[in-house]
Amino acid sequence: MDTYQIQVNSEIGELEGVIIHSPGKEVENMTPQNAERALYSDILNLSVAQKEYDVFRKAIAAHAPVFEVRDLLNDVLTNQRVRETLIDHIFIHEETMASKHMLLSLSNEELTRQLLEGVILMKDNLTKYFSKERYALRPLHNFFFTRDASMAVRDKVLIGRMANQVRGREAMIMQAIFDYHPMFRTQTVNPQQHASFNDKISIEGGDVLVARNDVLIIGTGTRTTSQGIDFILEQIESKEQVRHIIVQELPEKPESFIHLDMVFTFLDTNKCMVYEPVIMKPNRYQTVHITVDNGKVSIKNEKNIVECLNNLGFDLEPVICGGTKDPWAQEREQWHSGANFFALAPGKVIGYARNVYTIEELNNHGFDVLDANDIASGKTDITQYNKYVVAVDGSELPRGGGGARCMTMPFRRKEVTW
């Protein structure tokens, strides 16, 4: 088995390993009545979503090793101590009517399945009989957005403190994987296990971008709080070099502004994708620059993320989500994750084909447009192209509320020459 030292010092370094979670039955284990509780505004057609995701997975696998949460979880559950510890944590942090003894008696494969897809409620006492719930332990409807529950930041893994309890088990599973799977060498940092923890702390990976080894960009809105960012700030050691955190306030509505990576992502050493109304145009959402220099913290406002980064030695040109001609096209394509790109290497990115004006804008900036189906089938040889966007079919997947960056948890990237 190959082993990996966790190392992510940028958003765009050539990908050397990524964790994903192919959507399973947990995605359709909901009804219109509980979809909102599951953080969905609609119910996905699982068979179509799985076909789209399979092409997405194969396109990424053409670039780097891809690992499934299901397989990694199954591996760590072979350790009886890990099984017991994980189940204990779940019972402490979740309201459940499941039987701990029953879960511990399951095979690895079946325990893995039930932790992801939900544990059906057995109505074997009066309280359970009266319950309107279908599940004793709810399905993890959102786990195919693997970005949020854990974040590789330099050589450590920050465990997410999810804003909604319905997603808390995702973070517990990711911590178990990084703490106990023999493939990974790292140290996890979990806010809930810290002495300074308070209940106002929430941090999700869609809001945390590693710009450079000395620069983080973090969104604050409905999912990541100022207290969560303060926790990250407390973990920073600046004895060797000055560290920077750029904080971007996000709108609370509509829900497409859920995370920073829905309005800003990196594309190349000199290009970034932006949703112009929030990132570039004057508005009421602050951009705040925190500097940590030898333990001393200073905070000031900035005009926008791009200008702030360029003042720190970057040379970024913004590419406009939805194109530059029509504000309605910008708004519509942002809604379907038009700014949410995942970098496979500098100048090599993947995103949804349905955002035609955004893809056209990338093409205008020198990115060849490659069809993910052609890469997945071997028809297109990606080594023949230097700068490209892999366009993935997305009719169902975007309806879950996220894009290519949301669906990936990179744990190792090569260094970038800026």
Report if residue 292 sits inside a domain.
yes
SS3 330: helix
Structural domain of 180: 4-413
pLDDT of residue 156: 97
Report if residue 10 sits inside a domain.
yes
pLDDT of residue 30: 63
Query: Given CA atoms 319, 323, 328, 332 in this order, what sign does their dihedral have?
Result: negative
DSSP string of 15-45? EEEEEE----GGGTS--TTTTTTTT-SS---
Report if residue 389 sits inside a domain.
yes
pLDDT of residue 297: 94
pLDDT of residue 134: 84
Report if residue 418 sits inside a domain.
no
Burial of 296 from C-beta contacts in 10 A (0-12 / 13-18 / 19+): exposed
State the Cα–Cα distance between residues 133 and 118, nearest whole angstrom: 12
Report if residue 244 sits inside a domain.
yes
State the Cα–Cα distance between residues 186 and 306, nearest whole angstrom: 31
pLDDT of residue 323: 96
SS3 221: coil
H or E element at residue 218: strand 215-220
State the Cα–Cα distance between residues 279 and 348, nearest whole angstrom: 22
pLDDT of residue 27: 82
pTM, entire model? 0.95
Backbone angles phi, psi at 227, to 5 degrees: -65, -35
pLDDT of residue 253: 85
**Ordered per-residue pLDDT tens for the chain, 418 residues:** 789 999 999 999 999 999 999 999 888 776 656 655 544 556 778 889 999 999 999 999 999 999 999 999 999 999 999 999 999 999 999 988 888 999 999 999 999 999 999 998 888 888 888 888 888 899 998 899 999 999 999 999 999 999 988 899 999 999 999 999 999 999 999 999 999 899 999 999 999 999 999 999 999 999 999 999 999 999 987 677 899 999 999 998 888 899 999 999 999 999 999 999 999 998 899 999 999 998 899 999 999 999 999 999 999 999 999 999 999 999 999 999 999 999 999 999 999 999 999 999 999 999 999 999 999 999 999 999 999 999 999 888 887 789 999 999 999 999 998 8
pLDDT of residue 265: 98
Taking only Cα atoms into account, the Rg of the chain, rounded to an integer number of angstroms, comes to 21
Q: Residue 254 belongs to a domain with what CATH number?
A: 3.75.10.10
DSSP string of 356-390? HHHHHHHHHTT-EEEEHHHHHHTSS-GGG-SSEEE
* Amino acid, single-letter form, for residue 102: M
pLDDT of residue 123: 86
Report if residue 252 sits inside a domain.
yes
Report if residue 305 sits inside a domain.
yes
pLDDT of residue 38: 47
Report if residue 102 sits inside a domain.
yes
pLDDT of residue 106: 95
> How many domains does the chain divide into?
1
